[in-house]
A and B are shown apart, each in its own frame.
Chain A
Amino acid sequence: MRAKTLALPKNRRNIWGTIISQRELIIMSVPLLLYKILFSYVPITGWTMAFQNFKPAIRNTFDQQWVGFDNFVKLFTGINGERFIRDIRNTLAQSILTLVVGYLGAIVLSLLLNEVKNIGFKSIIQNITYMPHFLSWIIVAGLVSSALALPSSGGIVNIVLMKLHIINEPVQFLSNPDYFWGVVAGSHLWKELGWNTIIYLAAMTAIDPALYEAAEIDGANRYHKMWNVTLPSIKPTIVILLIMSIGWILEAGFEIQYFLGNGLVIEKAETIDIFVLNYGIKMGNYSLATVAGIFKTGVSIILIAGANFIAGRLGEEKLI
C-alpha cells in the first residue's frame, strides 16, 4: 500500500493521484481554509446592506427595503461625494507617505546596522528601535499628542526646538492641517522603524560571504559593497514586501487620525475609515458604511493585482 501511494506523484496529470499523495498537506490546510471562508468570505454576504436601506431592528436580511444603487449615488455625489473624494486623497497621501518614509528608513537603517561590527552596540540600537513597536497605537497617539503640544502643556518637541534656537515661536503641529500627513508618517516611522528592519537583516544574513570577498578582491570599499552586493541581494525581499504593502494602501491606520484629528485639521486628517465611523457607525447609516467598505476592497484588489503584474514584468518575484 505504501509503495503504491509513493509511486503516484510521478503521474502529474492525474489530479486524484496528486490529491491522495499530498493528503496530509491538504488536511492540514483545511482548518485554515475554513477559517478563511468563515471570516473572509461569509461576511461578504453583508454586502447586501449596500443595496438596502438597512435598519438593524429588522433581523431578517430579506425583509429590508431594497434601494438599488441609491447608497452608491449618495456616497459619491453631492457634498458627501466631495468629502469622500477628499478622504480618499487623504488616505492615499498618508499611506503613500508612510510607506515611502517607512521603507527608505527601514532599508537605510538595516544597511547601516549590517555594517556595524560591534555586536553589543548593534543589539542596543536594535532594541531601542524595536521597542516602540510593542506600544499600542492609542498609546503612541497619546505620546505624539503630548510631545507635539505647546510648551506650556509640556510639548517636548517644541521645547527642544526652542532651546536649540531652531524656532522662536512654538509650532502648533496639531492645529495646522499642513503638518498632519507629516505627523502621521513621522509617528509610523518612529513606531515601526526598528521592527521593519528585522526582515531585511534576516535577508542580509543569507547573502553568500563569497560575494563580499569577491567584491573586496575587485577593490570595492564598504559603500560599493553595500550598493553592489547587499542591496541587489535583498531586492527580491524589498519587492515582495512592497507588493504586500500595496494591498494595504487604503489602510492608512485609524487610531492616530482618530485621536489627533479635530475640526481644524479635518480637511487633511479624515480618512475613509474615519468617515465610515462618523457617517456610518455613529449615525447608524450602515448601508453607507458598507458602500465605502466595498469601494475600499475593490481598489485594494486592483492595486495589488497591478503591483503584482508590474513586478512580474520587471522580472522580480511575484506574490501570486
Chain B
Amino acid sequence: MKRFASLVLAAAIAVAMSACGNGSDSATSTQSAASTGSAPSTTASSGSSLPVLSPDNPVELSIWITTSQQAPSADNKLTKMLKDKLGVTLNYEIITPDNQDQKIGVMLAGGEYPDIIGSTDQNARLVTGGAYIPLDDYLKPEAAGALYEHVKPYWNKIAYDGGQGKHIYQIPNYNRFYGDIVGGVNYSASGFWIQKAVLADQGYPDLSNMTIEKYFKMLEDYKNKYPKIDGQDTIAFEILCAQGREWGLTNPPEYLAGAPNNGGVIVDENNVAAVFADKDVAKRYYKYLNEMNAKGMVDKESFTQTLDQYLAKLATGRVLGMYDQRWSYGNAHDALVAANKVERTYVATMPTFDGKAPYYADRDVMNINQGVGVSVSCKKPEVAIAFINTMMNEDWQKILAWGVEGEDYQKGADGKFTRNEQQRANSTDLIWRSSNRLMALTDIMPKHNGTYSDGNAYSPEDQPEEFFATLKQYDQDFLTKYNKKTWRDFNNQPPENPVYYPAWNIALPDGSDAQMADKQLKDTALQFLPKAIMASPDKFESIWSEYTTAIGKINVKSYEDAINAGIQDRIKNWATK
C-alpha cells in the first residue's frame, strides 16, 4: 500500500511538473495575447495624456537597439541621470547591424519583444510582422507633443501600411531637420575615400573631374613609395563586403554612372528604375578592379573579412582608400583620431565615367522605415512613449548630443555652446564615452537634427565654431590647401532630391517574389563579383558571363516592378507632403 501511495505521489508530481511547464507557457501566451489585444484599445481611450515620469515612480524599460555603438558601461553618468530625474532604468540589448536580419527573424517567430525596439531595417519587417503598436493615437499635441511635432510635416512619408492601414509605427532616428542645417561633417557622405596623407604627399592634387583611373594612380604611387606604414604592409584599396554592408561592393557603379544612391537600381529621368548589376557600367567597374587586383592594388582579404576586421584594418591607418559611406566607417575614423593619426583619416573623392557630373552627395534623407517604436509586448506602452517623448525635448536632446552643461560643454554669454580642449579630447575618447555618453541610445532615438531653438547646432560636430576648433592643426592646414571650409565641400553640391528619392528604402515585404529576387541578386553578386575581381585578367570575361547568366535566371522583373510601384506610389502620395 505504501508503494502504491508513492506511485500515486510520483505520478502526481510528474503531472504537476508538466502542468507547471504548460501552465507558465500558456500564462505568458495569454499575457502577450492580452497585451496585443488590449494595446489598440488603450491607445484609443488614453489618447489624452501621458503619464509623468518621475523618480518616485521608477520604471524599467527593455530596449532593443540596432547600432554599431557599444552599450554604456555600468557606471554611466547619464544612465544615473535618467534614473534620478525620470526614474527610468533601461535594459539594453544591442545588436550590430550585420546580425540584425537574423535577430528580427527570431524575434518575429517567437512573438515576444522588448518594450522599445529601435531598428534600422529598411524592409519594415517588424511592422509587417506585427511587432510594433501603431502610435497614431499618442501622436497628438496633448499627448506625445514633441513626437507629434517631429512627425507632423512628414506624416505621409513616415506612415507605413503594414497590412492594417497606414499608421506610424516607428519614429525616424535621423535627418528630420529643425531650423538651419549646419555642420562640417556629412555623415551620409559617400565616396571613394582617400587618405589625407596620400593627397598631401602628392602636393594636394586637384580633385575635380576625378576618374577611377586617376584615383587608383594616386593610391598606386603612394603604395610604391611607401610599401609599409607603421611597419605593416600598405594596402592600396580595400573593398567593403561584410554582411549587411554588401552595398560597399555593389553600389559604386551607379555613382560612377553619375546617378545618386538608389540601392540596386538606377532611376532614369522618366522615374523608371532598372537594375544595373549586369549592365555595362557595372562590368566596366569590376573589370577595372580586376586589373587593379592583378597589380596588387586590392586587398586580398577584402572578401573574407567581417565588418569588425574591416574596421580594424582601416583603424591601423595602412589602408589608403576604399568606397564607403562616412557613417559606416565612423568607428574607424574615431579610432584613428584617438590614436593621433589624423593624417590617416580620409576625404571623399568622386570619380565618374566619361566626365559625368558626380552625384555622390544627396540632400540628407530622412530615414523612414527605421527608428524607434513601441512593441506589442510592452505592458505599459504609454510609459514607453512618454519616455521617448521626453527624450525628444530640447533639454534631453542637448544632454544626449552635447552632454551635461558645465561638465561637457559651456554656455557662453552669447548663448553659444563651446567646449574646452579637455572636453574635446574626451569626446573622441571611446572609453570616456562609454561611461559619460549614451551613444547607442542616442543613435536610435529621434533627433533634433539641424538647430535648437536657441540657435545652437544639434551636436558639437554640427556647431560650425566647434567644428573648426576641434580640427587638429593638420586638418586646418589641409582644408586651407584645398581652399575648403568643411569636409562636406569635398562632395558635390546636392541638387533637390527627386520626390520618390531614395529608392533604397522602398520596403519589400517578407515572402514576396521581389524580396526573394533582391536577396538572390545580392547573393549572386557576392558569389561572382569577388571571383571576377580576384581572377587573373584573362578569366574575367568568362566569369562575367557566368554572372550575367546567373542573373538571367533570377526573376529580376518582380524586383524592378516592386521598386517602380514604390516610386509611383511615392510620387502620388509624397508630392504634396
**Are the C-beta atoms of B300 and A175 separated by less than 8 Å?**
yes
**Are the C-beta atoms of A27 and B301 separated by less than 8 Å?**
no
Given A281-B102, A283-B511, A283-B515, check contact A57 B130 (CB 8 Å): yes
**Which of A130-138, A149-157, A200-208, A301-309 participates in binding chain B?**
A149-157
Near A by CB (< 8 A), chain B positions 149-181 give 162-163
B residues in contact with A117, CB < 8 Å: none
**Are the C-beta atoms of A282 and B241 separated by less than 8 Å?**
no
Given A263-B530, A285-B511, check contact A57 B14 (CB 8 Å): no
Q: Which residue of B lies closest to A152 (CB)?
A: B233
Given A264-B534, A266-B527, check contact A56 B233 (CB 8 Å): no
Selected contact of B303 from candidates A55, A264, A283, CB within 8 Å = A264
Given A56-B129, A266-B523, A284-B510, check contact A34 B14 (CB 8 Å): yes
Selected contact of A56 from candidates B101, B109, B241, CB within 8 Å = B109
Chain B residues within 8 Å of chain A by Cβ, number: 48
A residues in contact with B553, CB < 8 Å: 78-79
Interface string of B220-247 (1 = CB under 8 A from A): 0000000000001100000001000000
Bound CA span A175–B130, Å? 40
Bound CA span A149–B511, Å? 37
Interface string of A276-300 (1 = CB under 8 A from B): 0111111111110000000000000
A residues in contact with B531, CB < 8 Å: 263-264
Bound CA span A236–B519, Å? 48
Given A38-B21, A262-B304, A285-B511, check contact A27 B10 (CB 8 Å): yes
A residues in contact with B101, CB < 8 Å: 281-283
A residues in contact with B241, CB < 8 Å: 262-263
What is the CB-to-nearest-CB distance from B282 to chain A, in angstroms, rounded to a whole number?
15
Selected contact of A149 from candidates B36, B301, B523, CB within 8 Å = B301
A residues in contact with B109, CB < 8 Å: 56, 281, 286
B residues in contact with A79, CB < 8 Å: 520, 553-554
| Residue A174, interface by CB 8 Å | yes
The B interface is mostly helix, strand or loop, or mixed, namely helix
What is the CB-to-nearest-CB distance from A260 to chain B, in angstroms, rounded to a whole number?
8
Near B by CB (< 8 A), chain A positions 5-25 give 23
| Residue B537, interface by CB 8 Å | no
Bound CA span A279–B101, Å? 11
Selected contact of B304 from candidates A34, A264, A284, CB within 8 Å = A264
What is the CB-to-nearest-CB distance from A224 to chain B, in angstroms, rounded to a whole number?
49
Interface string of B19-44 (1 = CB under 8 A from A): 00100000000000100100000000
Near A by CB (< 8 A), chain B positions 3-27 give 3, 7, 10-11, 14, 17-18, 21
| Residue A30, interface by CB 8 Å | yes
**Are the C-beta atoms of B519 and A278 separated by less than 8 Å?**
yes
| Residue B108, interface by CB 8 Å | yes
Selected contact of A264 from candidates B7, B21, B36, B530, CB within 8 Å = B530
Bound CA span A58–B163, Å? 11
Selected contact of A175 from candidates B10, B21, B303, B554, CB within 8 Å = B303
**Are the C-beta atoms of A1 and B18 separated by less than 8 Å?**
no
| Residue B90, interface by CB 8 Å | no
**Are the C-beta atoms of B10 and A153 separated by less than 8 Å?**
no
Interface string of B390-415 (1 = CB under 8 A from A): 00000000000000000000000000
Considering residues B7, B36, B109, which has the most beta carbons from chain A within 10 angstroms of its beta carbon? B109
Chain A residues within 8 Å of chain B by Cβ, number: 41
Bound CA span A137–B515, Å? 32
Given A281-B102, A284-B125, check contact A263 B529 (CB 8 Å): yes
**Are the C-beta atoms of A56 and B111 separated by less than 8 Å?**
yes
Bound CA span A285–B530, Å? 27
| Residue B1, interface by CB 8 Å | yes
Bound CA span A56–B376, Å? 13
| Residue B52, interface by CB 8 Å | no
**Are the C-beta atoms of B301 and A150 separated by less than 8 Å?**
yes
Given A38-B18, A280-B105, check contact A59 B33 (CB 8 Å): yes
Bound CA span A27–B8, Å? 10
Near B by CB (< 8 A), chain A positions 237-296 give 260, 262-264, 266-267, 277-287
Near A by CB (< 8 A), chain B positions 309-326 give none
What is the CB-to-nearest-CB distance from B232 to chain A, in angstroms, rounded to a whole number?
7
| Residue A53, interface by CB 8 Å | yes
**Are the C-beta atoms of B527 and A285 separated by less than 8 Å?**
no
| Residue A219, interface by CB 8 Å | no
A residues in contact with B105, CB < 8 Å: 280-284
**Are the C-beta atoms of A283 and B529 separated by less than 8 Å?**
no
Q: Which residue of B lies closest to A79 (CB)?
A: B553
B residues in contact with A80, CB < 8 Å: 516
**Are the C-beta atoms of A262 and B303 separated by less than 8 Å?**
yes
Bound CA span A263–B543, Å? 14
Bound CA span A285–B518, Å? 14
Interface string of B361-391 (1 = CB under 8 A from A): 0000000000000000000000000000000
Bound CA span A27–B553, Å? 59
What is the CB-to-nearest-CB distance from A21 to chain B, in angstroms, rounded to a whole number?
12
A residues in contact with B525, CB < 8 Å: 263
Q: Which residue of B lies closest to A53 (CB)?
A: B511
A residues in contact with B21, CB < 8 Å: 38
A residues in contact with B162, CB < 8 Å: 57
What is the CB-to-nearest-CB distance from A36 to chain B, in angstroms, rounded to a whole number?
12
Selected contact of B527 from candidates A55, A263, A284, CB within 8 Å = A263
**Are the C-beta atoms of B111 and A59 separated by less than 8 Å?**
yes
Bound CA span A27–B5, Å? 13
B residues in contact with A1, CB < 8 Å: 1
Given A38-B21, A263-B530, A277-B102, check contact A27 B11 (CB 8 Å): yes
What is the CB-to-nearest-CB distance from A9 to chain B, in angstroms, rounded to a whole number?
16
What is the CB-to-nearest-CB distance from A139 to chain B, in angstroms, rounded to a whole number?
15
A residues in contact with B33, CB < 8 Å: 59
| Residue B53, interface by CB 8 Å | no
B residues in contact with A78, CB < 8 Å: 553
| Residue A31, interface by CB 8 Å | yes
**Are the C-beta atoms of A150 and B300 separated by less than 8 Å?**
yes
What is the CB-to-nearest-CB distance from A86 to chain B, in angstroms, rounded to a whole number?
11
Selected contact of B102 from candidates A150, A263, A282, CB within 8 Å = A282
B residues in contact with A30, CB < 8 Å: 10-11, 14
Bound CA span A145–B102, Å? 22
**Are the C-beta atoms of B111 and A266 separated by less than 8 Å?**
no
Q: Using a CB–CB distance below 8 Å, which chain B residues touch chain A?
A: 1, 3, 7, 10-11, 14, 17-18, 21, 33, 36, 101-102, 104-106, 108-109, 111, 125, 128-130, 162-163, 232-233, 241, 300-301, 303-304, 510-511, 515-516, 519-520, 523, 525-527, 529-531, 534, 553-554
Contacts A/B (CB < 8 Å), 28 sampled: A27-B7, A27-B11, A53-B511, A56-B108, A56-B111, A56-B130, A59-B36, A79-B553, A150-B300, A174-B304, A175-B300, A175-B303, A264-B303, A264-B304, A267-B527, A278-B519, A278-B523, A279-B516, A281-B101, A282-B102, A282-B104, A283-B101, A283-B516, A284-B108, A284-B125, A284-B129, A284-B510, A286-B109
Please name 10 further chain A to chain B contacts, defined as beta carbons within 8 Å, in addition to the given A56-B109, A266-B526, sorted by A numbering. A30-B11, A53-B511, A56-B111, A56-B130, A79-B554, A149-B304, A150-B301, A267-B527, A279-B519, A287-B511
